[in-house]
Amino acid sequence: MSTLLDTDLATRWVAPLADALRARGWRIAAAESCTGGLIAATCTTLAGSSDWFERGFVTYSNEAKTEQLGVDPALIAAQGAVSQAVAEAMVSGALAHSAADLAVAVTGIAGPGGAVPGKPVGTVWFALARRGTAPKSERLQLDGDRAAVRSQTVEIALERLLEESRRA
C-alpha cells in the first residue's frame, strides 16, 4: 500500500485521472470527512491540477457537513455521519456548491476510536456523482490502523473517480 501523498499515487491514479478529465473538459470536487483533505492534497500534488481539480471540502465535523455541503442535520442525527445517506448528501452538496462536473465524497471511521455497533473501525462510505445524475455509493470495510484506513480511502476514491471519468 502506498503512503499518503507519495509519487506512486500520483503516477498510478492522479496522472491518468488528470488525462481523462482534461480529455472531457471536466473538473472534480472532493467532499471529505475521514480523510481530512488528503484526496484534495493528493490530487494537487500534480502540477497543472488547477485545470481539472475545482475544489475540496473538508467537512470533518457534522456542522461542517451542514454548513458547507447543505447536509440536513436531521439526516445526520437519524443515520449517523458514517452512512450511505450522508455520503450521498455530501456528494450532492459538493456538486451543488461547486462548478465541478464530477464529485466524490467519503465519510468513515478511521480509528482507533469512534466505532459504534454495526460500524467498526475501517467502515467507509464512498459516494460518487456526475452533475445531473443520482449518486452511486458503496460501503467498504478497510483493514489496518488509522493511517492505513485513510490511505486506502484516498486510493479507492481516486480509483473510483478514474473509472467514472473514463466511463462517460
Put simply, whether the predicted model's pTM sits higher than 0.75 gets the answer: yes
Express each pLDDT in 83-123 by its tens digit.
Answer: 999 999 999 999 999 999 999 999 999 999 999 999 999 99
CATH T-level assignment (fold) for domain 7-167: Maf protein (3.90.950)
Residue 127 pairs with which residues in a beta bridge?
A: 105, 137
Position 75 scores a pLDDT of 98
Express each pLDDT in 3-12 by its tens digit.
Answer: 445 567 778 8
Question: Dihedral, CA atoms, 92, 98, 104, 110, nearest 10 degrees?
Answer: -90
Express each pLDDT in 112-161 by its tens digit.
Answer: 999 999 999 999 999 999 999 999 999 999 999 999 999 999 999 999 99
Question: Is the Cβ–Cβ distance between 159 and 13 less than 8 Å?
Answer: yes
C-alpha cell at 11: 503516477
Q: Which amino acid belongs to residue 92?
A: S
Q: CB neighbours of 2 closer than 8 A, spacing ≥ 6? A: 8, 9, 12, 151, 155
